[in-house]
Amino acid sequence: MCLRPQPASSKFIFIMDYRDTIDYINSFINFEKIPKYQYAAAFKLERMIAILKELGDPHKDLNIIHVAGSKGKGSTCAITAYILKEAGYKVGLYTSPHLVDFRERIRILNDEPQDSREFEGMIGEGEINEISEEIKPVAENFREHNTLGNASFFEILTACAFLYFKKKQVDIAVLETGLGGRLDATNVAMPLVSGITNISLEHTDKLGNTLSKIAYEKAGIIKEHSLVVSASQETEAIGVIRKVCAEKGAGLYEIGKDIKYSILNSDEKSQVFDLKGPGYFYKNMGMNLIGGHQIENASISIGMLKLMAPDKFNIRENDIRKGLIKATWPGRLQVIQKTPYIILDGAQNPASAAALADSIKKLFNYKKLICVFGISSDKDIKGVSSVLDAVSDIIILTKAKNNPRAEDVSRLKQNFKNSRPGLEESNDIDEAMQKALRFADKEDLILITGSLFVVGDAIQYFKL
């Protein structure tokens, strides 16, 4: 912590340095690291509205795209942001969770030179210090004595993002919901357009134990007379989305119905597809994010961009093509080595794990699949384990270093067949990777999956 003199006085005040900022933001309750809590009691949109009001309602001065869903919402946000960047706009990008550094969550993409060693455009240490200083007096009002209850880690970071984007005068901000949608801190936004990615069973103890209940929470981001693009959904989920749109007079565009794509080529390096929507037909669109699910995500992104505020934003076909090629999203079907293959992917529910397993079988040629797997205790561990059990030759169970929710390896082991060969245990990702690399031949594939905390540990292990 440093001392800074004030110009009109001889007094000094404390100014947080980056370590102080980390400690301060982490002092707020972080529901991402708590396995069990009462969702409706913990998440209060009224509190987020009150926090932002004391900060001058920075979110009301922003053009916003808002995305919810169970799978692919981060990828969809990233693709959207990169296309907007190629169109010449200054783009705020707010996503969660982070892999290594929470500054990854708050980014600005523009034409300024970037440090290739970091997430492109992520907020600087000095910048987060300054924003935190400004928010601190307001945040302190939402400790124990406030009738709306304690502010959370996610609410404080969301407020930081809104304030930062306003100060930096971004042309548009792309927001990923944290959990659910209806009660999420990002849902104070009044977006130009919203997107809902694929919905599957997740966080059932908080969002509900049926697709319709979960879809209701996700559809909570839909505003009156707004525009919405939805992924192709299960019947139960799309029924809820259609009902909410009808009730709110929102225009709904569905992938597979109003917007259609066809995959022309998909391999371990790139993909090519055609896309047809209302008033446009793009042929031979290339992208470097791999896996068929990413084409669905790209279709949502393009659908949103073609619908939103044509009087404010001009998105040309060439911008879309360039943005698709340049879009990156670390930790999701990310190939970091080829002999043997080493792939990172944070698949945390059965649907994501099944999509991951399908993509790996279709896109890569390998002899053995060696899976390094660790997951949080509040996930559908049995469901994810079942998928990985069926496709893996060797499974190395592990535990993230800094995740209080991480499932203990001995309990995780109970979800696999006791008789299956090739089931190994490790204390952390370092030991797990040492084992995996020892077992692997050049023709094999090592998959590191489960919790994004485990993926983050792997990124640090490989010093990416």
Cα distance between residue 120 and residue 326, in whole Å: 11
**Is 8 inside any structural domain?**
no
**Is 77 inside any structural domain?**
yes
Q: Are residues 301 and 343 in the same domain?
A: no
pLDDT of residue 144: 64
**Mean pLDDT, residues 216-226 taken together:** 97
Residue 118's pLDDT band (cuts 50, 70, 90): low
Q: What is the mean pLDDT of the chain?
A: 92
Amino acid at position 391, single letter: V
Residue pLDDT, tens place only, 376-422? 988 899 999 999 999 999 999 999 998 888 999 999 999 987 767 89
Token duo for residue 118: 């970091």
**Residue 158, H or E segment:** helix 153-167
pLDDT of residue 115: 60
Residue 113 sits in which domain range? 15-326
**Mean pLDDT, residues 340-368 taken together:** 94
Q: Are residues 160 and 292 in the same domain?
A: yes
**Is 88 inside any structural domain?**
yes
Cβ neighbours of residue 397 under 8 Å, at least 6 residues apart?
373, 374, 409, 412, 413, 423, 424, 425, 426, 432
Count how many domains the chain has: 2
Least confident range of 33-42, 229-238, 278-287: 33-42
Q: Are residues 263 and 362 in the same domain?
A: no
Tell me which residue of 251, 372, 380 sits closest to 307, measured CA to CA. 251
**Is 200 inside any structural domain?**
yes
- Helix locations, 176-234, DSSP H: 204-207, 211-218
**Is 350 inside any structural domain?**
yes
Q: Above 60 in pLDDT, residue 1?
A: no
**Is 46 inside any structural domain?**
yes
Q: Are residues 367 and 300 in the same domain?
A: no
pLDDT of residue 37: 83
Token duo for residue 353: 């794990």
pLDDT of residue 311: 87
Q: Are residues 376 and 320 in the same domain?
A: no
Residue 186's pLDDT band (cuts 50, 70, 90): very high
Q: Can you give the CATH number for the domain in which 88 is found?
A: 3.40.1190.10
pLDDT of residue 180: 93
Q: Above 80 in pLDDT, residue 424?
A: yes
Share of the chain above pLDDT 90, in %: 80
Q: Can you give the CATH number for the domain in which 346 is found?
A: 3.90.190.20
**Mean pLDDT, residues 112-139 taken together:** 85
Q: Are residues 63 and 147 in the same domain?
A: yes
Tell me which residue of 219, 220, 255 sits closest to 237, measured CA to CA. 219
**Mean pLDDT, residues 1-8 taken together:** 42
pLDDT of residue 12: 40
**Mean pLDDT, residues 439-454 taken together:** 96
Q: 46-66 burial string, b = 16+ CB within 10 Å, else e?
A: ebbebbbeebeebbeebbbbb
Cα distance between residue 241 and residue 230, in whole Å: 8
Instruction: Estimate the crossing angle of helix 317-326 against helix 292-307, to 10 degrees.
Output: 140
pLDDT of residue 402: 83
Cα distance between residue 156 and residue 143, in whole Å: 12
**Is 173 inside any structural domain?**
yes
Residue pLDDT, tens place only, 69-82? 999 999 999 999 99
Q: Above 60 in pLDDT, residue 87?
A: yes
Q: Are residues 167 and 300 in the same domain?
A: yes
Domain edge (last residue) among 326, 361, 394: 326
Domain edge (last residue) among 285, 308, 326: 326
Q: Are residues 313 and 340 in the same domain?
A: no
pLDDT of residue 8: 40
Residue 51's pLDDT band (cuts 50, 70, 90): very high
pLDDT of residue 3: 40
**Mean pLDDT, residues 295-312 taken together:** 95
Q: Are residues 294 and 392 in the same domain?
A: no
Residue pLDDT, tens place only, 355-372? 999 999 999 999 999 999
Q: Are residues 155 and 250 in the same domain?
A: yes
- Contact between 227 and 194 under an 8 Å Cβ cutoff? The reply is yes
Domain edge (last residue) among 308, 326, 344: 326
Residue pLDDT, tens place only, 137-178? 999 988 766 788 889 999 999 999 999 999 999 999 999 999
Q: Are residues 84 and 198 in the same domain?
A: yes
HSE-CB of 131 using CA atoms within 13 angstroms: 24
**Is 5 inside any structural domain?**
no
HSE-CB of 49 using CA atoms within 13 angstroms: 9
Torsion of CA 51, 53, 57, 58, to 10 degrees: -30
Q: Above 50 in pLDDT, residue 2?
A: no
Q: Are residues 129 and 230 in the same domain?
A: yes
Cα distance between residue 93 and residue 81, in whole Å: 7
Between the alpha carbon of residue 59 and those of residues 63, 109, 189, 226, 241, the distances in Å are 8, 18, 7, 17, 25
